[in-house]
Amino acid sequence: MSRHTDEFPPPSTGLHVAIIMDGNGRWAKERGLPRSLGHRAGVAALRRTVEGASGLGIERLTVFGFSTENWRRPPREVSELMGLLKTYFRSDIDRLEREGVRVRIVGRRTGLEPDILEIVERAESRTVNNHRFHLQVAFNYGGRADIVDAARAFALRVEQGRSQAHELTEELFESYLSTASAPAPDLIIRTSGEQRISNFLLWECAYAELVFQQVYWPDYGPEHLKAAIAEFQGRERRYGAVSGEPAAEDTILAAG
């Protein structure tokens, strides 16, 4: 459900990069392995990428871990993905907490098993005072579902007489999205060579630069992220205006 928050809009200094971690299944298939091993290798890639991100001037990373459409996969694969989320937070939360990473899960919480919810909420509350780096995991997330949930939440306020329809602005609407606590992504990366947005951050992607990389997610790491940022830096972000400064000049890139 939508989590309307007074934290919105948040201050921002570094880059927000979002990643569609695609290609786990094909990576496994090419090696004659079960898909589950592709997803497991995907968790290792996530660890490497989070580790390398802050050194590249990235302040916030949002990764697409499980979509509202992924429930259509075979039950065994769904349960494997749920298990990996649990294992990831169980095994990594101490380190993430120590390293100043704030963890947030975005997406629908309804429909998640109680043990997943507990782990997710614990990871969020343990890291609530961290500000060095933000890791957002989109889990049970769909861009359309998030927009519908936000619309319902605002409609409910109108129904209750607490708001009026004409008060709705883009800024107010955004504050009802599950991603409300973060600025929109500057850059969205999709791995594996597919060139689709697949219901990821539909509202938030309005002015994001898109970079598609050929590498399968399990092979991903900081060097690929660095290459994507270099491509992003060469883009001109105009936000609908006629000309502007290159993307590189409105962001901080600490890496050499």
From candidates 8, 12, 26, 199, binder to ligand FPP by CB under 6 A? 26
Distance of alpha carbon 89 from alpha carbon 82, whole angstroms: 11
Question: Per CB under 6 A, does 104 bind ligand FPP?
Answer: no
- Distance between first and last Cα of the chain: 41
Q: Between residue 74 and residue 103, which ones bind ligand FPP under the rule CB under 6 A? A: 81, 84-85, 88
Binding-site string for ligand FPP from residue 152 to residue 171, where x marks contact by CB under 6 A and - marks none: --------------------
Q: Sign of torsion, CA 149 154 158 161? A: positive
Segment interacting with ligand FPP, rule: CB under 6 A, options 18-26, 107-115, 165-173, 245-253: 18-26
> Going by C-beta distance under 8 Å and a sequence separation of 6 or more, which residues neighbour residue 167?
none
Question: Per CB under 6 A, does 237 bind ligand FPP?
Answer: no
From candidates 2, 18, 22, 54, binder to ligand FPP by CB under 6 A? 22
Distance of alpha carbon 50 from alpha carbon 184, whole angstroms: 19
Work out how close the CB of 23 gets to ligand FPP at its nearest, in angstroms, rounded to a whole number: 5
Q: Note if 70 is an active site residue.
A: yes
**Closest residue to ligand FPP, based on beta-carbon distance:** 25
Question: Per CB under 6 A, does 21 bind ligand FPP?
Answer: yes
Q: For the chain, how big is the Rg over CA atoms in Å?
A: 18
Going along 124-245, which residue ranges are E strands?
A: 133-141, 187-190, 209-212
Q: Note if 186 is an active site residue.
A: no
Question: Per CB under 6 A, does 189 bind ligand FPP?
Answer: no
Return the structure tokens found at 119: 């782990």
> Going by C-beta distance under 8 Å and a sequence separation of 6 or more, which residues neighbour residue 65?
21, 81, 85, 137, 138, 139, 141
Number of residues that bind ligand FPP (CB under 6 A): 18
Distance of alpha carbon 120 from alpha carbon 16, whole angstroms: 21
Binding-site string for ligand FPP from residue 38 to residue 57, where x marks contact by CB under 6 A and - marks none: -x--xx--x-----------
Binding residues for ligand FPP (CB under 6 A): 21-26, 39, 42-43, 46, 65, 70, 81, 84-85, 88, 137, 217
> Which residues belong to the active site?
22, 70
